[in-house]
Amino acid sequence: MERLLDKHWHHIEADEVAQFLDVDPGKGLDELEVEQRLKHFGENVITGKKGRTNLERFLLQFHQPLVYILIAAGLVTAYLGEWVDSLVILAVVLVNAVVGYIQEAKAVKALDSLSASMSTEAVVFRAGSSDRIPASGVVPGDVVLLRSGDKVPADLRILSGKELRIDESALTGESLPVDKEPGRLPPDAVLAERRCMAYAGTLVSYGQGRGVVVATGNHTEIGRISGLIEAADELETPLTRKITRFSHMLLIAILCLAAASFVLGLIRSEPVNEMFMAAVALAVGAIPEGLPAAVTIILALGVSRMAGRKAIIRKLPAVETLGGTTVICSDKTGTLTENQMTVQEIRCGGRAYTVSGDGYGYDGAISAADGGEAGGRALEECMRAGLLCNDARIYMKEGRPAVEGDPTEGALVVSARKYGLEREAESSAFARVDELPFESEWQYMATLHNHEGGRVVYLKGAVEKVLECCMDALSESGEGMELDVEAVVREQHELASRGLRVLAFARKDLDADGGLVRSDACMGMTFVGLQGMIDPPRKEAISAIAACQHAGVKVKMITGDHALTAEAIGLRLGLRGGDCQLGEDCPVLTGREIADLSDHDLVEKAPGIPVFARVSPEQKLRLVLALQKTGEVCAMTGDGVNDAPALKQADIGVAMGITGTEVAKEAADMVLTDDNFATIEAAVEEGRGVFANLVKFIAWTLPTNAGEGLVILTAILFGATLPILPVQILWINMTTAACLGMMLAFEPREPGIMDRPPRDPARPILDRTMLRRVGIVSVLLLVCAFGLFKWELLNGASIEKARTMAVNVFVVVEAFYLFNARSFTRSPFALGFMSNPWVVGGFALMMALQGAFTYAPFMNTLFSSAPVDVFDWGKIILCGLAVYGIVEFDKKRTQSDV
C-alpha cells in the first residue's frame, strides 16, 4: 500500500484509483479496515522534525564573536573591580540574547500553523453511511464528501462532482476557483492544472462532490511543503554576515595587539603586573561596547518607521536586508494587481468598446473605440445578460467595495452598472424564474426571466460553447443579423492574447410556458457580444516598480496564473529582465519549462526572466536558490501555504497581511498590512536609510576604539605612563555611544537615496574611503590626546589632570566628528544643523556629563579625574575644530558615495 502513495493519481481513471486503494466508492471502508490503515499510515497530521529546545535556542544567542568580545569586556572590568561597568556590559549581552531568542521563537510557529491548517472536520462515507469526523482520522482509501464551504481534509482523487469548484490560491497561486471533474489528465499536468484532484487545506467555494483519499499527513502536497520549509536554510542576512566577519577580524586584532604589547613589555623587562594592566587597557579600549546595542536600537527605529509605512517587521535584521535587496520576486494577485476582476473590453454589434475604472467600484464609464456614442441594443443586451445571468453581489467591506460570489461575475455586475443598469431595477423588470447552473461539462450558465408578459433566456459562458448554441447575432440597432463565427473567434483571440479572460453572451425569447430545459439554451440562441476582463495592475505598483528598477533593484513576477495573463500584466507593469523589456527578448518562463531545466541552466536563465507563470512551490524555492547563487540579495513576497518555503529561504520573506495565510506570515520576515507592492518599495527606501545610519555609527565609533588602542600601544612602545586608564576608557566608550553615537539613529534619509544602485552584497560594511577616514581620525586622536597628555606633564601638571585632558580630547573630538559623520558626502551646513535636533541635544548632554566628569568631586574620586581651567578647554576645543576641518576637507576631496 505504501508505494501507492507515490502514484500520479491524476493520470489514473477514477475507478482504477478506487481499485488500487481497495475501496468500494458506494460503501466506503469498514471500521476494521480504517483502524488498520490508521495504525499503518498514522494520523492525518503534519509532523515536523524535532527542533532545538528552548534552552538550546537561548544559549545559541551567545554564540557570536562580538558577544564573546563583550563577555570578555565584562569579565575584564569585573576583574578590575569596576562592578557597575561590568554589570552594564553583561546586561547588554543578556538583553540582546533575550531579543534574539524571542524573534527566533516566533519563527518556530510556522510548522505549528501548518498543522493547524489541517485541524478541521471531514464528512466521510464509511460502511454505507456518512459520518462527520475529525480530519486527523481520515485514512488513505476513505471516501470524502465535499460541499460548498468545506476545507478539503486530505489529498483526494475526484470520483464525481456537480458544479464543484475549489479555491486553490493558497496552494497554487491560481487567482480563480478551479472547476473539478473526475476525468484523468496527462502525467505531466502541473499542480494548478490537475482538475481531477483536490488538495488538503484548499476550500470548496461552490458545488459538491465526492473523492477518495490518496494521501494524508506528510504525504499530502501541504505536507511536502512542510518538508520544504524544514529543508530551507536558516540564512544569515547581509548585515549579520558582515557584522560576524567584522567581529572576527576585530577579535583577532584585539587579542593579537594585547598579547603583542604584553610580550613587548616583558622583553623590555617591564613589571608583569603593569604590562598586564596595560594589555587589559588596550583590549578594553579596542572593544566597541556600544555596537550591539546601537545596531539593535537603529534597527528598532527602522522597524517603527516602517510600521508607519504599513510594513510590519518580524525580524530586526530584515530592516537592513531590505536596503541591500537586489531583486524582488513578487506574487501577482493582490500585490501587483488589485485582486478585483475588471471588465476592460466589450465587443458587440460589430463595434468595440473600452471600459474605464478598476476594481469593484462603480467609478468609470463605457466608451466606443471609434469615438462615437456608446449605445445600441446589442450593447444594452450584452450588459443585461452579464447582470442577470449572474449570482454575484457587490457590497461594502471595511469602506471598500468587495464581491460576494465569483469574482468574474462581480466584474460583470460592475460593467453593467457603468452602463447604467441597476441590479434591483433589472431584477424586478426581468424576474428570474429558473436557471441552469454552470457545469464544467457544458461550460455555460443560463437563466430564464419573465418580462412584459413574455419570457427571455440569457446565456453566459465559454466563447466556443456559446457560439455552438447560437444561430444568429444581434445588431447594434437590435435586429437579427448573420453570425460571423470566425470574426468572433478572432476577437476572442485578440483579447485573450492581451491576457483578458473572455466570456460570451447570448439571448433568446421563449413562447412556451414551463421551466428552463437544456434544449432551450443549447440551440436557437442569438449572440449578443463578448466581455473581456482582467485583474488590473495597481497604479501605485507600476510607479513603485519603476522606482525600484531605477534604483537598480530587479523585480520579477512569480505567479500560478496562465502565461498569457501573466505576460499581459507584466507588460502593463513595465517589468524588465536584465537589460531588456518584457517581450520577445525576455519571454515568460512557465513551470513546465522550469521543470525541464537543470539547476545550472536555471541559474544561467533566471536572472534575465522577468515573469514566471504556472510555478509550483518547489519551483519557487528553486528560483530563489538560483538567484541567490548568482549573488543576489533576494526578497520574496507571497500569501499562500505554497509560498512559505520560498519565503523562508529568501534573504527576506514578505507576507501579505490581509490575504496571507498564517503559515506565510510565520515564515516571513516582514508583513505588509496593505498587501501592496508599493509598500515594499517604501520599505526598501527605509532599509537603505537604516543601513546608511548603521554605517555612519560604525564609521563614527571606530576611531574612538582605534584611537584608544593606539594611545595605549604608543605608551607601551615608548615605556610611558598610560595616558588613559581602563575605567576612563569605559567612561568614554559608554557615554559617547549613548549620548552621541545613538543620535545618528535618528538621522533622516538623505535625498536621492533611491537613485543609487543596490549595495554589492560582497562589499564590506566600510569601503576603503571610509576605512581611510577612520584611520585619519584615529591618528588625529592619538596625536591630540597623547600630545596634550605629554604637554601637561612637561608643564608640571599632575597625572590626574593630564589624563583628564586626554579623556576630554577624546570626547570633544568625537563630538565634533559626530557632525562630520552625519553624511559621507555633504557638510553639516548643507544638511542643516537642526535637520536632526537629536545630534545637537546629544552634544549638549555629552558636554554636561563631561563637565561632571571633570569638576564633580565624586567623579574625580571614581575616575581619577581632575578639574581643568578655561585655557585648557580652549586647547581641547581647538583639537576638536582641527579634526572637524580636516575631515570636511577630506570629504570634499574624495566625494565618496556610500
DSSP label of 574:
T
Q: Among all residues, which ones are annotated catalytic?
A: 331
Four-residue CA torsion sign, 469, 470, 476, 480: negative
**CB of 353 within 8 A of CB of 366?**
yes
**CB of 222 within 8 A of CB of 200?**
yes
- Interatomic CA distance for residues 32 and 35, integer angstroms: 5
**CA angle 112–557–346, rounded 5-degree value:** 115
- Interatomic CA distance for residues 421 and 157, integer angstroms: 43
Strand ranges inside 334-404, DSSP E: 342-348, 351-355, 366-368, 393-397, 400-404
- Interatomic CA distance for residues 521 and 259, integer angstroms: 94
Cβ neighbourhood burial of 875 (10 Å; 0-12, 13-18, 19+): middle
Owner of C-alpha cell 453572451:
505
- Interatomic CA distance for residues 715 and 725, integer angstroms: 12
Count other Cβ atoms within 10 Å, centred on residue 467: 19
CA-nearest of 645, 708, 777 to 232 is 645
3-state helix, strand, coil in the chain (%, to 5): 50, 20, 30
Q: Helix, strand or coil for residue 280? A: helix
Q: Helix, strand or coil for residue 632? A: coil
The helix (run of H) or strand (run of E) holding residue 326 is none
CB neighbour list of residue 749: distance below 8 Å, 6 or more residues apart? 685, 686, 688, 689, 692
Print burial letters for 366-390: b (CB count within 10 Å at least 16), e (below 16).
bebeeeeebbbbbbbbbbbbbbbbb
**CB of 615 within 8 A of CB of 331?**
no
The helix (run of H) or strand (run of E) holding residue 587 is none
Between strands 197-198 and 580-581, the pairing is: unpaired
